[in-house]
Amino acid sequence: MAADHKSGISISGKEDLKDGNTNLTYSISGKCKRIDDKEVCDIIARAFKVWADVSLLTFRPVDADANIKLSFEDGDHFTEGDPTHSNPLSESETGGLIHFDDDENWKGMKDQSKGGINLFLAAVHEIGHVLGLPDKDFQKTSMYKSYANDKTFALNKAILK
């Protein structure tokens, strides 16, 4: 188990993390219909930076064989209509997966229109799940049980406990 003393985040399960490796990789597959590839990459990198800033973890994009695999998928493969699905790294076979339902109205950082789901907020939330954090009842925090649909954002220290 890799214990992160900066934030209290603990990661366990995957063989490559049991040795205390805090240098994690991620990859993005599929295309988001509503946001161009460069902006998706920028948003995802920014979401990982949020977690890197409050932990001893580092995250680096790679093309293949990543610890964390993000994808945009079409069709009904999510639970109860959820726009995303993620599996903690501790799950042996499926750990480290984050799926974004590409049928949703994903919004980029510059999109000021009403409605839709802010990809940055969703990515920060789902990365938290991959790192082993559960949903929280604190509103206006990244791990609140539903995504905020505004520009407010907080990574409250209470979610890291």
Binding residues for Zn(2+): 77, 85, 99, 125, 129, 143
3-state secondary structure at position 142 = coil
Q: Which of 15, 91, 93, 126 is an active site residue?
A: 126
CA distances from 6 to 35, 51, 56 (A): 34, 11, 6
Q: Which of 134, 102, 95 is nearest to 119 (CA)?
A: 102
Q: Which of 100, 99, 96, 156 is nearest to 130 (CA)?
A: 96
User: What phi and psi, each to the nearest 5 degrees, are found at residue 23?
Assistant: -100, 100
- The binding site for Ca(2+) comprises 95, 101-102, 104
Contact call for residues 86 and 130 (beta carbons, < 8 A): yes
Contact call for residues 29 and 70 (beta carbons, < 8 A): yes
| Whether 93 is catalytic | no
- The binding site comprises 77, 85, 95, 99, 101-102, 104, 125, 129, 143
Catalytic annotation, residues: 126
